[in-house]
Structure 1
Amino acid sequence: MTTPLPFRILSTAQALPQRVVTTAEVAALCSVPAGVAEARSGVRERRWLSEGETALALGAQAAREALSAAQLEIGDVDVLLNASGSQLQPIPDGAALYARELGASGLAAYSLHGTCLSFLLALQHAALLIGTQRAQHVLIVSSESGSLGLNFAEAESSLLIGDGAAAVLLGPAESAAQGLHAARFETYPEGAAHTQIRGGGSLLNDRSPGGIQREDYLFEMQGLSILKLASRVVPGFLERLRPGLSAGLPGIDRVIPHQASASGLALMRRYGWPEERIEVTLPTLGNVIAASLPLTLHQTLSSGRANPGDRLLLVGTGAGLTVGGLIVTL
């Protein structure tokens, strides 16, 4: 057993929009038969923001509930990390907006952005801060509003995306076994164009050939290309994360995967991972971008399907194409 970088998950929380959107509703917007849409996407329903709701408010709600569950105040937090794939606004950094919403002043607040893997990057960063005694309490907030950027002419992505928020509060370990055992991230930029929103940055502007179109600000995904690239690179990545992971779950009690798509989750069967040890929230939440991993973690912990001492594999892919995984003991 490796000696982990010590930290402990103190609490988790979620905040979901009130509006439940069925796949039949989205399929109608995409002009796709409802039965075909559900079979292909693996999603029965998801949550979308409705009038008066914002990703900022949801993220702050999840943060407050995580603090309450741990019986801590925002003043007890040393570092606030925003780990969201969708931005609240370009400037200032979204973490400053969450700090303002939570009434926090003077704490360190910043973002770690890796699209769908933002939470894994933030969790690794928090482990480094706590494990090296640079911080005692770190609060991670992931909140997504992907429904606002959907292009219903592209059914593949529109049928997947849901909105929601999750917060995870971390603190010092209580036992020598708790903490981060392994972490790895790899990027394969040949997949950079497979998942993108082209507008909103400096590469595309009014002086670009053809200018900027509304569609440039909408989500674009080439699912089959992503799947082919992931199928090629993930097995080697898993072996580099921990030998044996591409053919089983050595020393792993439960898998918390990013809920990318039904096809992405199905890939895990090729690795010999028992389905009963893989947590799945895709059918009821959809792909909630960076919030998918902490939402799935929250539902796993709150249901009692994982307990102190269990070793988790948190793993997924993000735009880039980036593959990431952490091995954590609760």
Structure 2
Amino acid sequence: MTKIKISIKAYGYVDNNYKGKEITQNSFIEKDLTSFLLTEKDLRLILETLIISIKKTKTLYPDEQTNVIYHNNNRLESIKFDIIFDDELGDSQIIEEKAFFEQAAKYDNLSSLILKYCEVTDDGAEGTRIWGMSEYDEGPPAGTYAILALVNQSKNWISNYIDFLRTNDLDHEVEQIWDIQSIIEKYGWGKETCRLAIARNVSCCGQGGKEQFNNFLNNGLIDYLNSDEHRKEFLNLILQEFREWDQIYFRLKKGFKQHYIDYIINYVQHFNRVLENKEINEIETYLLSKWEDYKS
């Protein structure tokens, strides 16, 4: 077979209820014949086809509900894809998502397409990130293996990983706690991993963020912060995290001051083992001023 088959299995909801519907879409592209392995050209075409196909798949699950107030542009719940091609012996090779992105991430020229894949797998049913299908249960959020493949190539992609985590439903974590831990173990403590730890304690907190952050402190982060230089940088990164946190603007628009205190300002206390009372008060005062400015 001189073609590469891209098979996408999708699951979502149809009609005005939660009746599930599974759809399989197959696409074929020409194989680069300069190698029996997947070349950079092959990987690029596969990525482009995946992005187009997922956009098309979303249209097959239109949000036509009449019994809800909130609508999204689709009701696609989960996806899974396989890449199939023949090797030099004519035997069929099947590459799943994780292995595919591990190959693709080795090519710097493909990084922008990998990020586009992460973008297109966001905004599924109910406006949340699409889930990946698993053989036994619900898999990790779609795009997880894509962004992790980039992060494993370079710590410079950690900021993109934080952006990705912010699109996850972290009240229903799957593997994120282990992924975050693996990244920090791989790169050790530095500016990038400190940003990740801080985000895990604020915008990416979810079920286990506060507990995991305290584990970081107990397993090396406190020692790292003994340096005045590192501690100063860490404080600046905390301030940056609160400035970037989109939940601040969500709570401001909601207009309930107590909710703003409970769900925004109280997060500053998550850093009470790191910050002095004066520093905590300064950040809380800054956040409270955001409320006063918005309401004035």
TM bin, normalised by shorter chain, reads: under 0.3
* TM-score, normalised with respect to structure 1: 0.21
* TM-score, normalised with respect to structure 2: 0.22
Give the number of the structure with larger relative contact order, counting CA–CA contacts within 8 Å between residues 6 or more apart: 1
- Whichever of the two has the greater Rg, that structure is 2
Higher helix residue share: 2
Higher strand residue share: 1
